[in-house]
Amino acid sequence: MLSSLMIRRGASVNFARKMTMLICGAMALPIMFTPLAHNEWVAVAVISVAVAGHQGFSSNLYTLCSDLFPTKLVASIAGFGGFFGYVSASVFQPSQDIG
């Protein structure tokens, strides 16, 4: 919704998507202060904002993919991105010592 509003107001698609991703990414940063919350509802509010920011970032990331690549390649590019993300997460997992 935010990127669409920026585009309607004259911003380029590239700027609108990336600025929205920056804002949504910044929304996730306060999650590190959740353990300091003295009230459970404050913790729930902080987590809710962080999760909303994460979802907004993800949505704009996939939309950015469809903005940058031809229609016939969007699914393949998104699939490659997911594949390499999962492979790198598997390869770079820290080892578990059962010591």
Residue ranges of domains in the chain: 2-76
The packing angle between helices 40-68 and 74-91, to 10°, is 130
The DSSP element (H or E) to which 35 belongs, if any, is none
* pLDDT tens for each residue of 68-91: 889 999 899 889 988 998 999 988
Q: Measure the CA–CA gap between 12 and 58, rounded to whole angstroms.
A: 19
* pLDDT tens for each residue of 7-34: 999 999 889 999 999 999 999 999 999 9
User: What average pLDDT does range 26-50 have in this prediction?
Assistant: 94
Q: How far is CA 80 from the centre of its chain?
A: 17
28 DSSP assignment: H
Per the confidence metrics, is the pTM higher than 0.95? no
Determine contact, residues 31/51, Cβ cutoff 8 Å.
no
